[in-house]
Amino acid sequence: MVGLILAFIFFTPRTLFRDQPRTPQASQVALLGAGHGSNIFWIEPELLSGVPEEQRLSKAAQLLQDRTGRQVVLTRVQPILDSEQEIKGYMAFARP
C-alpha cells in the first residue's frame, strides 16, 4: 500500500492537477481591491527597499505604472510591519 502511495506521488504528472510553479514577478505587485473611493495595491518589500521615505510615493507610482501600463495617482504608501517591526510589504492607495 505504501508503495502505491509513493508511486502515485512521484509518478503522477504535475499537469494532472494543474499545478504550476509560482512566478515571483507575478506576485510582487497585486491589486487587492477598491475601497473608500481608492484602489489598493500590495507591493512586495524588495521593490521599495533602500528607497528613502520621501521618494517612496513616486517610486511606487512608477512601479505601478510599469506593471499596469496606465497612469496611477497614489495618495499614500503605507508600510506593513510584522510583530517584530520588520517590513512585510507596502499598501499603496491610488485614486481611480
What are the structural domain ranges in the chain?
Answer: 22-95
Give the mean pLDDT of 39-43. Answer: 88
CA 56 from centre of chain: 16
Picking from 79, 74, 89, 95, the residue whose alpha carbon sits closest to that of residue 43 is 89
* pLDDT interval class at 28 (50, 70, 90): confident
Alpha helical stretches, state H, 12-91? 53-68
- 35 band by pLDDT with thresholds 50, 70 and 90: low
